[in-house]
């Protein structure tokens, strides 16, 4: 049987999200949810609206514009075909608000000189299909029972889940099963309005009505997802637009505690509106300049679900950090899956980085036992054969075959396209383990535990040496993608070794050759770094992990290249990748999607959308912040009261300002332009310095040359 094609979503449809309530709405650009399409209103993982189609006079309306006003609010402007004459005089506006359900206000504006009579119909249906089934193109069961009471239509599901949805309309519609019909007379130069309320039923409990508050003003910043007032401003218009989308998308994906504080960022809409260990931590890492508190709340959430026992069904193991949590409510171990090889070292990395950026030391100290349990997993359960490397192999035939960030079933191949046998030790995962050990060493130093610091540094140094000996392929000039179950090189050229530059595990003597390999034309498509080189046998530009471009992957590569920037070609490749990625964002209206196809820019001058991409996507939205931080050479160390800068901004960025940057108890302001920067507000007992030479691998810093200008103005 042929598997169904994955449906088009994300970059083609309009996706509105209200992460706190677990609601998301995927519609076409007119606001319609079409029967049979990969669209719908989803609430707590179930599609409570599978059809929501508005027609006027029996015909569909024409799209004029739409606007994601702010998180959870979308506005559609539509044109109604004229009764007679060449120009339409009737505009229709749909203002949609998400919460624990949906409220949509339909406004008809008569711009003509005569009264107009119109019949509006809204076709409604529900199938309560699971979000995962919709994602994979599997049809819902349909056939929901419908009960009408006055102006209310109640759909119910006969399963044990207790799903249902109530749809209530004002404006005196005629109501029949699945259909609301209004007969409206709109005076000249006047308007007519009706509001429809959608209240999902979950576990036999009806949700409250979503309010009809006024939309946020367009110029009001979307900073509700974070606890700080930090502002980032760029004079270059296109870069400023990308940064604005970053704020909006992150606000859209923020999931909050009961007290309203952000807890973590959901991975992405529409398909991954949940806690993802990897994506939530990477996005928290990238957003540290804006809010270190988000890193702490993410870590606390993950620590609460950290593995404590062995369960082959969920792949839970003591110390292991979850891959993802699926289900409504607060994340817990019961709804978690643990099949990931890289989330556990990333946990320790993020904890160390959060302390450098000013996270509360007491909160960090309380998470040290979780970090130590994670390190114990790396050395124990994570090392399946005792060779000192972290490997993965799924526990049962229900688990994911591949368990890194590249987790599709066909993504780990050699240069000839042969799939690797498990257990598999991936290159970038060894880099994460190395960085985790260095992070734990820094944490130990910060809390006066010198013995642990020395032990962790020794472990990291040994891992770096063993990694180089086992993974380097001399005849190819790059590190292997990984080692297979027979300890053979998986020799395909991929983006994975760029992560090794980011973590600093790359030996100085290898860096130049590795940079040269990554700079090959087969690896860059003009908009970013391909996941797999175009000259590899398994290359497919539409494949998730065998040729597509992921913005966060490219941003990590840029950060790694700038860490080794004194290596010939590293800075030039970083410039090329940065320019290409921001160009791609421009073609997506300033928003970076989760991924896009790897077709070459000479073949397709605009980036080709990937049909299954999430947009918004947290780690893609945060990627521009990692680019900014990397080009600034911004490396704070709050415990040591040190701020390192080495600005080398792309010329077309203009002037970049970071205002009200919180570094512990200090609040500083940075203004940078190309190779210079000015810092104000730095306390007198802080040290401002330029990064020195070398790769800074023992500190997690960048290898910036000491040849450019940083001034400290008012302290």
pLDDT > 60? residue 631: yes
Distance CA(494)–CA(529), nearest Å, equals: 9
pLDDT given for residue 430 in this prediction = 98
List alpha helices for 447-547, DSSP H.
Answer: 450-471, 496-503, 508-518
The answer to which of 212-216, 605-609, 646-650 has the lowest mean pLDDT is: 212-216
The answer to which of 79-88, 227-236, 574-583 has the lowest mean pLDDT is: 79-88
pLDDT given for residue 22 in this prediction = 74
Q: How does strand 254-256 pair with strand 709-712?
A: unpaired
The answer to which of 1-10, 186-195, 339-348, 691-700 has the lowest mean pLDDT is: 1-10
Closest CA to 550 of 579, 505, 584: 584
Closest CA to 499 of 522, 471, 521: 471
Distance CA(272)–CA(250), nearest Å, equals: 14
pLDDT > 50? residue 222: yes
pLDDT given for residue 277 in this prediction = 95
pLDDT digits (tens, 9 = 90+) for 545-583: 999 999 999 999 999 999 999 999 999 999 999 999 999
% of the chain exceeding 70 in pLDDT: 90
Q: Helices 427-446 and 343-356: crossing angle, nearest 10°?
A: 40
Domains of the chain, start order: 14-206 (2.70.98.40), 231-632 (1.50.10.10)
What single DSSP character describes residue 715? -
pLDDT > 80? residue 663: yes
- Whether the CA torsion 525, 629, 220, 620 is positive or negative: it is positive
Closest CA to 83 of 107, 59, 106, 54: 59
The answer to which of 272-276, 594-598, 645-649 has the lowest mean pLDDT is: 272-276
Map residue 701 onto helix, strand or coil: coil
**Residue 572: which residues within 8 A CB-CB, separation 6 or more?**
519
Name the pLDDT band for 335 (thresholds 50, 70, 90). confident
Mean pLDDT of the chain: 90
pLDDT given for residue 51 in this prediction = 95
Identify whether the C-beta of residue 425 lies closer than 8 Å to the C-beta of residue 342: no
pLDDT digits (tens, 9 = 90+) for 243-264: 999 999 998 899 887 666 778 9
Question: Can you tell me which residue has the tokens 């962790």?
Answer: 456
pLDDT digits (tens, 9 = 90+) for 4-42: 434 444 445 677 777 767 788 999 989 999 998 889 999
Q: How many residues does the chain have?
A: 715
């Amino acid at each position: 049987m042929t598997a169904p094609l994955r449906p088009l979503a994300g970059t083609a449809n309009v996706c509105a999200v209200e992460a706190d309530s677990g609601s998301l709405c995927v519609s076409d650009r007119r606001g319609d949810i079409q029967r049979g399409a990969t669209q719908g209103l989803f609430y707590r993982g179930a599609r409570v609206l599978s059809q929501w189609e508005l027609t006027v006079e029996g015909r569909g309306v024409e799209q004029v514009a739409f606007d994601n006003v702010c998180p959870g609010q979308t506005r559609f402007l539509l044109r109604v075909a004229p009764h007679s004459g060449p120009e339409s005089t009737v505009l229709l506006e749909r203002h949609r608000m998400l919460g624990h359900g949906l409220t949509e206000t339909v406004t008809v504006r008569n711009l003509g000189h005569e009264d107009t009579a119109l019949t509006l119909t809204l076709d409604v249906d529900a199938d309560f299909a699971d979000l995962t089934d919709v994602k994979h193109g599997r049809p819902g069961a349909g056939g929901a029972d419908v009960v009408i009471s006055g102006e209310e239509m109640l759909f119910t599901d006969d399963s044990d889940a207790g799903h249902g949805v109530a749809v209530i309309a004002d404006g005196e519609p005629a109501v029949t099963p699945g259909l609301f019909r209004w007969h409206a007379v709109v005076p000249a130069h006047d308007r007519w309005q009706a509001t429809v309320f959608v209240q999902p039923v979950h576990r036999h409990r009806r949700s409250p009505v979503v309010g009809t508050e006024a939309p946020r003003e367009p110029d009001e910043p979307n900073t509700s997802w974070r606890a700080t007032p930090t502002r980032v401003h760029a004079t270059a218009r296109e870069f400023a637009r990308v940064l604005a989308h970053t704020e909006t998308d992150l606000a859209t994906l923020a999931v909050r505690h009961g007290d309203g504080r952000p807890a973590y960022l959901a991975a992405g809409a529409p398909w991954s509106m949940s806690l993802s260990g990897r994506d939530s931590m990477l996005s928290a890492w990238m957003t540290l300049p804006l809010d270190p508190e988000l890193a702490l709340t993410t870590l606390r959430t993950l620590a609460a679900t950290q593995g404590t026992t062995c369960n082959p069904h969920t792949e839970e193991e003591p110390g292991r950090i979850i891959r993802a949590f699926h289900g409504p409510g607060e994340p817990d171990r019961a709804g978690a899956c643990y099949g990931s090889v890289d989330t556990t070292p990333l946990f320790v990395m993020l904890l160390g980085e959060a302390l450098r950026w000013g996270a509360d030391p007491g909160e960090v100290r309380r998470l040290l036992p979780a970090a130590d349990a994670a390190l114990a997993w790396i050395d124990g359960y994570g090392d399946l054969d005792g060779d000192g490397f972290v490997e993965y192999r799924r526990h049962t035939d229900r688990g994911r075959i591949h368990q890194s960030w590249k987790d599709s079933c066909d993504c780990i191949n050699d240069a000839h396209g042969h799939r690797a046998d498990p257990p598999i030790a991936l290159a970038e995962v060894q880099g994460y383990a190395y960085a985790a050990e260095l992070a734990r060493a820094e944490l130990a130093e910060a809390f006066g535990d010198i013995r642990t610091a020395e032990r962790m540094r020794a472990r990291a140094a040994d891992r770096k040496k063993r990694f180089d000996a086992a993974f380097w392929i001399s005849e190819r000039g790059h590190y292997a993608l990984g080692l297979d179950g027979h300890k053979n090189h998986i020799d395909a050229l991929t983006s994975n070794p760029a992560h090794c530059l980011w973590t600093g595990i790359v030996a100085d003597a290898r860096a130049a050759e590795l940079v040269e390999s990554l700079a090959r034309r087969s690896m860059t498509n003009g908009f970013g770094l391909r996941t797999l080189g175009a000259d590899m046998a398994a290359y497919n530009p539409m494949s998730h992990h065998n040729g597509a471009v992921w913005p966060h992957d490219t941003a990590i590569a840029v950060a790694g290249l700038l860490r080794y920037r004194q290596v010939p070609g590293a800075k030039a490749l970083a410039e090329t990748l940065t320019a290409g990625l921001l160009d791609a964002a421009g073609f997506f209206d300033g928003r970076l999607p989760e991924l896009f196809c790897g077709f070459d820019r000479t073949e397709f001058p605009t980036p080709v959308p990937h049909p299954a991409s999430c947009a918004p996507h947290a780690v893609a939205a945060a990627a521009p912040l990692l680019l900014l931080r990397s080009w600034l050479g911004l490396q704070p160390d709050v415990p040591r009261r040190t701020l390192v800068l080495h600005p080398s901004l792309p010329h077309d960025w203009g002037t970049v300002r970071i205002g009200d940057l919180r570094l512990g108890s200090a609040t500083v302001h940075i203004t940078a332009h190309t190779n210079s920067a000015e810092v104000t507000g730095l306390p007198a007992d802080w040290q401002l310095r330029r990064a020195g030479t070398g790769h800074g691998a023992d500190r997690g810093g960048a290898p910036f040359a000491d040849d450019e200008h940083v001034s400290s103005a008012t302290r």
